[in-house]
Structure 1
Amino acid sequence: MNRRDFAKLVLAAGTAGPIPFGITRAAGQTRGGVLNTVIQPEPPILVSALNQQAPTLTVCGKIYESLLTYDFDLTPKPGMAQSWERSPDGLTYTFKLFPGITFHDGSPMTSEDVVFSVTKALMEAHARARGTFSRLASAEAPDPLTVVFKLKEPFAPFLHAFDATTAPIISKALYENTDLRQNPNNARAIGTGPFKLKEWVKGSHIHLVRHEGYYRKGEPYLDEIYYRVIPDAASRAVALESGTIQLTQWNDVEAFDMPRLKALPNLDMTTKGYEFYAPHLWLEMNTRIAPMNDKRFRQAVLHAIDREALRKRVFFGLGKVATGPVSSKTRFYEPNVPKYEYAPAKAMALLDAMGLKPAADGKRVSLKYLVPPYGEMWQRVAEYVRQSLGKVGIDIVLEGIDVGGWAARCGNWEFEMSAPWTYQYGDPALGVARSYISSNIRKGILFSNTSGYSNPEVDRLFEAAAVAQDDATRQNLYSRVQKILVEDAAVAWLMELDFPTFTDKRIKDLVVTGSGVNDTFARAYRA
Structure 2
Amino acid sequence: MKQLATAALLALTTAFAAHADEPQKGGTLNMVVQPEPPTVMLGLNKLGPVSFVGSKIYEGLITFAPDMTPQPLLAKSWEISEDGLSYTFHLREGVKWHDGAPFTSADVIYSFSEFLPKAFSRTKRVMSFVEEMTAPDEHTVVFKLKEPYAAFLIIFEVTGGTMVPKHIYEGTDIFKNPANDHPIGTGPFKFDEWNKGSYIHLVRNDDYWQDGKPYLDDLYFRIIPDANSRAIAFEQGQVDLLRGGDVENFEVSRLTAMDGVEMTEKGWEFYDPLAIININTRNAPLDNVKVRQAISYALDRQFMIDAVFGGFGKPAYGPMTERTPYYDPSVLTDYTFDLDKAKALMAESGVTAQNGVYATLDLMPLPYGETWQRQAEYIRQQLKEIGIETNVVSVDVPGWVERTTSGKFDITTNFIYLLGDPAMGVGQTYQSDNQLGRGTAANVDGYENPEIDRIFAEAGKTLDPAKRKAFYAQAQEILSRDAPVIWSHAMSYPTVYRSKIKNLITTAPGLNETFADVWIAK
Where 1:390 maps in the other structure, the secondary structure is: helix
CA distance in 1, matches of 2:495, 2:127: 32
Q: Residues 458 and 119 of structure 1: is their aligned pair in 2 closer, same or farther, counting only changes over 3 Å?
A: same
Look up the equivalent residue of 1:498 and give its one-letter code. Answer: S
Which one of 101, 104, 108 corresponds to residue 102 of structure 2? Answer: 108
Which one of 75, 84, 90 corresponds to residue 84 of structure 2? Answer: 90
Deviation at 1:363, TM superposition (A): 2.3
Q: Deviations over 1:253-301 (max 9, x none)?
A: 2111011112112111000001100100111011111111111111111
Q: Deviations over 1:107-164 (max 9, x none)?
A: 1111111111111111111122222222111111111111101111111121222111
| 2:122 alignment counterpart | 128
CA distance in 2, matches of 1:61, 1:220: 14
Look up the equivalent residue of 1:413 and give its one-letter code. Answer: G
Which one of 333, 339, 346 corresponds to residue 334 of structure 2? Answer: 339
Kindly report the root-mean-square deviation, in angstroms, between the aligned alpha carbons of the 2 structures: 1.2
Where 1:161 maps in the other structure, the secondary structure is: helix
| 1:155 alignment counterpart | 149
Matches within 5 A, 1:135-150: 135-150=129-144
Which one of 446, 452, 456 corresponds to residue 452 of structure 1? Answer: 446
Which one of 237, 249, 253 corresponds to residue 243 of structure 1? Answer: 237
| 2:166 alignment counterpart | 172
Where 1:154 maps in the other structure, the secondary structure is: coil
Conserved in 2, the CA contact under 8 Å of 1:123 and 1:134? Answer: no
CA distance in 2, matches of 1:341, 1:272: 28
Where 1:101 maps in the other structure, the secondary structure is: coil
Where 1:324 maps in the other structure, the secondary structure is: coil
TM-score calculated relative to the size of structure 2 = 0.94
Q: Deviations over 1:225-274 (max 9, x none)?
A: 00000111111111112221111112112111011112112111000001
Conserved in 2, the CA contact under 8 Å of 1:408 and 1:444? Answer: no
| 1:78 alignment counterpart | 72
Conserved in 1, the CA contact under 8 Å of 2:24 and 2:519? Answer: no
Which one of 374, 378, 384 corresponds to residue 380 of structure 1? Answer: 374
1:273 aligns with 2:267: yes
Where 1:438 maps in the other structure, the secondary structure is: coil
CA distance in 1, matches of 2:317, 2:144: 36
| Identity score, percent | 44
Deviation at 1:444, TM superposition (A): 5.3
| 2:179 alignment counterpart | 185
| 2:13 alignment counterpart | none
How many residues align? The count is 498
In structure 1, the gaps of 5 or more residues are 1-28
Q: Deviations over 1:313-333 (max 9, x none)?
A: 111211100121011112110
Deviation at 1:306, TM superposition (A): 0.8
CA distance in 1, matches of 2:24, 2:235: 27
Asked which structure has the greater CA Rg, the reply is: 2
| 2:293 alignment counterpart | 299
1:507 aligns with 2:501: yes
In structure 2, the gaps of 5 or more residues are 1-22
| 1:320 alignment counterpart | 314
Conserved in 2, the CA contact under 8 Å of 1:248 and 1:501? Answer: yes
CA distance in 1, matches of 2:377, 2:183: 37
Deviation at 1:355, TM superposition (A): 3.1
Conserved in 1, the CA contact under 8 Å of 2:120 and 2:438? Answer: no
CA distance in 1, matches of 2:272, 2:466: 22
TM-score calculated relative to the size of structure 1 = 0.93
Q: Deviations over 1:161-203 (max 9, x none)?
A: 2111011010111112222211221101111111111001111
Look up the equivalent residue of 1:229 and give its one-letter code. Answer: I
| 2:7 alignment counterpart | none
CA distance in 2, matches of 1:218, 1:275: 28
CA distance in 1, matches of 2:353, 2:251: 40
CA distance in 2, matches of 1:411, 1:389: 24
Deviation at 1:74, TM superposition (A): 0.5
Conserved in 1, the CA contact under 8 Å of 2:121 and 2:438? Answer: no
CA distance in 1, matches of 2:24, 2:157: 30
CA distance in 2, matches of 1:30, 1:264: 24
Q: Deviations over 1:11-45 (max 9, x none)?
A: xxxxxxxxxxxxxxxxxx94111000000000001
Deviation at 1:354, TM superposition (A): 2.4
